[in-house]
Amino acid sequence: MAWLVAGLGNPGDRYARTRHNVGSMVADVVASRSQERFRKVRFIPLDVAETRAGDELVYVAKSHRYMNEAGPSYASFAKKRHVDAAQVIAIHDDIDMAFGSLRMKLGGATGGHNGLKSMQSALGTPDFLRVRIGVGRPPGRQDPADFVLEPFAKGEVDEVRVIIEEAADAVLSLVVAGLETTQNTFNR
């Protein structure tokens, strides 16, 4: 059985270190742990690194499209590689969770997250796994869209590195140990 890990984020250097790109950052860590490089997929705007977790084949992917348009890229790849929606893991930021928190779940609402809306629409179901990384609420009356497109504050950078490593551990645990075990180990 194959798995697809979708590191949600926006392409380009401008967004590389922003809150909205934590999913992409985690995908980078998952691929680098097995020393795999991302390669462009033919006819799909996606970069994919192929690795293994235990005996399972894992495709780690990052879209060339902006997050709110990326769902079709992931869904097309999943269909082409015969990956069922239940074996898709979307990694994403969540402003409704405290900074530094980590939660795994299967399905559910999108919470207004445009990347999840795009994934849900393209996959035709909300029933895919999610690794939610808390980035906190914007201060004062700042627009949430502006907040998630800002880089992490200098005081947050060290903790972000730890969170990203833990989220990568959680992704691999989902593949090898399943949802319930991973939730019991990583949800906080």
Q: Tell me the catalytic residues.
A: 20
In whole angstroms, give the CA distance from residue 182 to residue 180: 5
Q: What angle do CA 164, 77, 95 make, to 5 degrees?
A: 35
* The two structure tokens encoding residue 37: 């490089």
Strand partners, 62: 47
